[in-house]
């Protein structure tokens, strides 16, 4: 798991979201549908969390 974008650069502003990248061993769903199963409404900021496989 890692952070990228404005939060990682420490230049966030009003409306900035939290960009988190996840690396998983394997995934049954195609890339564009992987993060859909996680509830990203819990963090106090908008969150984008793509999940990547080693491939």
Q: What local confidence, expressed as pLDDT, does residue 36 receive? A: 66
Q: What local confidence, expressed as pLDDT, does residue 44 receive? A: 78
Averaged pLDDT in 10-residue chunks for the chain of 55 residues: 91 88 88 75 78 85
Strand-pairing partners, residue 23, are: 52
Q: What local confidence, expressed as pLDDT, does residue 22 receive? A: 86
Q: What pTM value is reported for the model? A: 0.64
The domain ranges of the chain are: 2-10+17-52
Q: Are 35 and 50 in contact (CB under 8 A)?
A: yes
Query: Three-state SS for 36?
Result: helix
Beta carbons within 8 Å of 40's beta carbon, 6+ residues apart: 46, 47, 48, 49
Side-chain-facing half-sphere of 49: CA atoms under 13 Å: 18
- Give the β-pairing of 2-4 and 47-48: unpaired
């Amino acid at each position: 798991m890692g952070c990228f974008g404005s939060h990682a650069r420490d230049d966030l502003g009003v409306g900035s979201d939290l960009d988190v990248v996840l690396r998983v061993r394997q995934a049954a769903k195609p890339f564009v549908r992987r993060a859909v199963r996680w509830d990203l409404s819990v963090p106090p900021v908008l969150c984008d969390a793509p999940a990547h496989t080693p491939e």
